[in-house]
Amino acid sequence: MKNFLIKYQNYLSFFVILILLITLKIANPSFVKSISNLSFDLYQKVFTLNKNESDVVIIDIDEKSLGKFGQFPWSRSVFAKILENVNKSYPKAVGFDIFFTEKDKQSPEEIIKSYNLIPTDVSELQKIKGHDEIFREQLEKSKSITAVLGSNVPSSNNYDRKAKARFLSKGGDPKDFTYSYTYSIGSLETLEQSVKGLGSISFLDQTDGIIRSLPLLVRFDKKIYPTMGLEMIRVGNNQKNIYIEMNEVGINRISARPYKILSDPNGIIWIRYKNSIKSQYISSSDVYDGKFPENFFKDKYVLIGASAQGLFDLVKTPLGVTIPGVEVHANVIENIIDQSFLIRNPNTYVFELIFAIMVSILTFYLSQKIKPKFSLSIFFGSIIIVIVIGFSLFLFRSELVDISYPIFLLTITFLTGLYFRFIEENKMALANLQKEAKLLKERELAAGVQKSLFPDISKFENFIFAKNVPARDVSGDYFDVVRSTPEEYFFTLADVSGKGVKAGMYMAKASSIFRTLTNLKFPLEKVVFGVNNELVEAKFKGMFVTAVFGKLNIKSGELIFINAGHESILTFDEEKNFKYIKSDMPPIGIVKYFTESMVKSNAINIKDKTFVVYTDGVTEGYLKNGEELGSEGVQDIIRKISEITPKSIVEGIENQLNWGAEKLRDDITCMAINLKNTELLKKKK
């Protein structure tokens, strides 16, 4: 169990985080709602609804009207006059997005009360019809709707009001699913008794103050009321009833003939806002004065509300603009008529969760299994898919799909995956560093051992000089010089196939065999015969050695040599006439020799010549200009040497190739023999 937890701790941690995020979404606190609202608002901003005409006209209580009629609220006679002028054009319905909660202070009875007048002294004044009565009569003559607002505090002039609409429900009781308020605030009882409809203007509380939706049905004092827009549709189409269809989760559809509105289970409609139309507004003062075309209000839904700054009836919309509250109800009416309202389907909510979970799991899994640059493509691809699905459903089905929280979920899980991947790779990198440090130590040890295998030939350097510069810690090249008699010397220069420690071990094997056989003073052919067969038996699979073996007599100048698959041997005289001697044998360590006659040797006298042998690391080495040295380059170096000695040749080649590059292309190994001075030197301390 413990091993399982350790092995899959990343996945277990991820699932804990995923469950936490899903639980957070289901709980849906305000900050989660604000994340979801980002996408809902974005849809409307990207695909903004534009209309040139509207079935709704707004009579605006604007700055111009306040200048004409004075401070608000105005006398009811002003509203009566406005309503009278509007009714001449036969509107569908007229809705007031304002309250008339108190009696008109300019009515005769209110004036008598205010000034404590004696009724007998103002008998003529009492005969004048009051402004509230004038307004009531106009309300009674028209298809008018006044506003009702939900409240949790009772008002002083409240009465047992009832909705004008009748509600017929099928499949359950809508009261169990509607938003409710303990009390309601409305207009004077006498005015409300005269209107054809009472419409709610209650908005749902929004943490950011943006009105995205409102309830089509709301419960005040345990009685259901329609929203202002829905009530105007009912009254405008001479309907008495509003039909409510229920299902197992709540309200499904609300109808006010001939229109049907899909809602969420709580009767909420999501509003599709249009860009404001200036021509939709007309000033209250112009309507009062009759300054409008004769049929301006014909068959229109007319709303009376305020846009004036001082009246504080302004709200924010998803479009990022502030509009008068009355325009919200205008948009609701237009949405119902055009069937352009937005839908927030409960099943879509479930789909969002399932889809987000699946994509998050896939993204996290891939982030653990593939390279980060590829998992990044999966991450952005998943986000693009979510965005395309969301915008497509909005554009073609008017459905609101929350893409913000799934993207948030994807981002958190992806970053979590990257974090765990980072931790895991850090552990692996640390383990690799420890392994590399161990290998480096081993290579350094091997390099030290290998250096000890190279002979100290400093006392021979007047006539034989050789040097090895490894490209890595361990070289695959080798040279050796063995003095068998005061006048005879065995030597070799070899290049092992491959690089690194294995090549070094192979080279060490060859060198030990060479030194053993030469110390026995065997002929050169027998030495090569023995070295080859021992390397074949050593079973270093796929490895071989190219080498030059030689036996030199410094007194006579005779040199017997064998070139086993190595670079051509360079010789030149005192006039620097160059000559190359090619190999006529294959490399050693490949096939077993059955007789010494299979080893072919050559002889040359170098009394007045210089003999140079090197590995391919010399001819293929890079110069500072990036070009290879080549055999011609070796000749150029020799030509420039004024005093030819084995040491000057070898060090001249080394200086040209080992110029400070970060890495050498290959090991540099070179040997030169010249018999002008055969005096032995004392060993360097």
Model confidence at 133: pLDDT above 70: yes
8: pLDDT confidence band, cut at 50, 70 and 90? low
Structure tokens at 248: 């197992």
Structure tokens at 683: 């060993």
Write down the mean pLDDT value for the chain: 88
Its pTM stands at 0.65
Whole-angstrom Cα distance, residue 395 to residue 254? 23
Whole-angstrom Cα distance, residue 317 to residue 271? 10
Do 551 and 538 meet the contact criterion of CB atoms below 8 Å apart? no
Return the H-helix or E-strand segment holding 362: helix 346-369
Residue 438 is predicted with a pLDDT of 72
Amino acid identity, residue 316?
A: K
Do 360 and 413 meet the contact criterion of CB atoms below 8 Å apart? yes
Residue 154 is predicted with a pLDDT of 83
Structure tokens at 195: 């209107």
Q: Looking at 493-497, 535-539, 559-563, 634-638, which range is the least confident one?
A: 535-539
Highest mean pLDDT among 29-43, 116-130, 580-594: 580-594
Residue 2 is predicted with a pLDDT of 61
Residue 685 is predicted with a pLDDT of 52
Residue 376 is predicted with a pLDDT of 80
Which residues contact residue 444 at a Cβ distance below 8 angstroms, ignoring those fewer than 6 apart?
A: 473
Percent of the chain with pLDDT over 70: 92
**pLDDT tens digits, one per residue of 67-78:** 999 888 898 999
Average pLDDT in the 399-404 region? 90
- Name the CATH architecture for the domain at 454-674: 4-Layer Sandwich (3.60)
**pLDDT tens digits, one per residue of 344-353:** 887 888 888 8
Do 398 and 38 meet the contact criterion of CB atoms below 8 Å apart? no
**pLDDT tens digits, one per residue of 238-272:** 999 999 999 988 999 999 999 999 988 999 999 99
Model confidence at 114: pLDDT above 70: no
Model confidence at 500: pLDDT above 70: no
Beta bridge partners of 160: none
Whole-angstrom Cα distance, residue 58 to residue 75? 20
Percent of the chain with pLDDT over 90: 59
Whole-angstrom Cα distance, residue 236 to residue 300? 9
Average pLDDT in the 430-439 region? 77
Residue 451 is predicted with a pLDDT of 67
Residue 490 is predicted with a pLDDT of 96
684: pLDDT confidence band, cut at 50, 70 and 90? low
Do 148 and 200 meet the contact criterion of CB atoms below 8 Å apart? yes
Residue 605 is predicted with a pLDDT of 95
3-state SS assignment for residue 390: helix
Whole-angstrom Cα distance, residue 369 to residue 426? 15
Q: Which of 198, 204, 205 is nearest to 228 (CA)?
A: 198
Model confidence at 368: pLDDT above 70: yes
3-state SS assignment for residue 245: strand
Model confidence at 589: pLDDT above 70: yes
**pLDDT tens digits, one per residue of 45-85:** 999 999 999 999 999 999 999 999 988 889 899 999 999 99
Could you say which DSSP state residue 443 is in? H
Beta bridge partners of 458: none
Model confidence at 373: pLDDT above 80: no
**pLDDT tens digits, one per residue of 533-552:** 999 888 677 789 999 999 99
Domain boundaries, the chain: 2-29+345-428, 50-338, 454-674
Structure tokens at 370: 């593939």
Give the CA dihedral 272, 273, 275, 276, nearest 10 degrees: 140
**pLDDT tens digits, one per residue of 142-178:** 999 999 999 888 877 778 899 999 999 999 999 999 9
Beta bridge partners of 94: 144, 302
Residue 666 is predicted with a pLDDT of 84
Q: Give pairs for 497-502: CB < 8 Å, separation 24+.
A: 497/542, 497/543, 497/544, 497/545, 497/546, 497/587, 498/543, 499/471, 499/472, 499/474, 500/443, 500/472, 500/474, 500/476, 501/442, 501/443, 501/446, 501/474, 502/540, 502/543
If you write DSSP's letter for every residue of 70-89 in order, what string do you get? -SSSPPHHHHHHHHHHHHTT
Average pLDDT in the 430-435 region? 81
Model confidence at 218: pLDDT above 90: yes
Cα 469 to the center of its chain, rounded Å: 50
* Max Cα–Cα distance, the chain, nearest Å: 163
Q: Looking at 3-17, 234-248, 537-551, 555-569, which range is the least confident one?
A: 3-17
3-state SS assignment for residue 127: helix
Residue 46 is predicted with a pLDDT of 93
381: pLDDT confidence band, cut at 50, 70 and 90? confident
Angle, helices 76-87 vs 131-141, to 10°: value is 20
Which residues contact residue 123 at a Cβ distance below 8 angstroms, ignoring those fewer than 6 apart?
A: none
**pLDDT tens digits, one per residue of 282-323:** 999 999 999 999 899 999 999 999 998 878 789 999 999 999
